[in-house]
Amino acid sequence: MASFDIVSKVDAQALDNAVNVTSKEISNRFDFKGSHVQIDLDKKDFKIRIETEDDMKMRQLVDVLINRAHKQGIAPEAFDISADGAQSGKLWKKEVKVKNGLAQDDAKKIVKLIKDAGLKVQAAIQEDLVRVTGKKIDDLQEVIQLCKTADLRLPLQFINMRS
């Protein structure tokens, strides 16, 4: 039986590099000269804390962060920027969460998508991944294409392909 795993993981080193490159770029930009900007990565919880002087700079900083992370190989969908920045005194603070691992609800959506497609494969949820097994590799490749074309809003990787 052939199988592979569907995961949604973010490389911690690539994320750290993206935060460092963003910090360096912001310190060199003319529109940020002399203003308070702080960006910190919590590697344990996969959260990025941002502090700026105003909301416009906050949005620019998040855009630069997402662009730099994309160049490091991290999909933009991995960032949860839905929470609005809050003003605390003179500073704006925001916490950007990085999605690492498949949540149970997302795994259920993937399994339902695969089962509704009617392919001759089995999909099973195992902690933070979905294992797909089937007799033919062609069926597994159809599942990969199905997941890539579906609008799941998740950065998915397909690993451990075995035949």
8-56 per-position pLDDT tens digit: 999 899 999 999 999 999 989 888 888 889 999 998 989 999 999 988 8
- 24, 104, 150 from 66: Cα distances, Å: 14, 25, 22
Q: Are residues 74 and 143 in the same domain?
A: no
Quick one: 80 and 52 in the same domain? yes
* Whole-number CA gyration radius for the chain: 19
CATH number for position 67: 3.30.70.990
CA separation for the pair 156, 160 (Å, rounded): 13
pLDDT tens-digit profile of 48-82?
Answer: 999 999 888 899 999 999 999 999 999 998 998 88
The continuous run of DSSP H or E covering 49 comes out as strand 47-52
Query: Is the domain of 113 the same as that of 69?
Result: no
* Residue span of the structural domain in which 127 resides: 2-8+102-162
* Residue 114 · residue 143 · CB < 8 Å: yes
Strand partners, 95: 49
Find, among 89, 28, 26, the residue nearest to 58 by Cα: 26
Percent of the chain having pLDDT more than 90? Answer: 52
Structure tokens of 133?
Answer: 């097994």
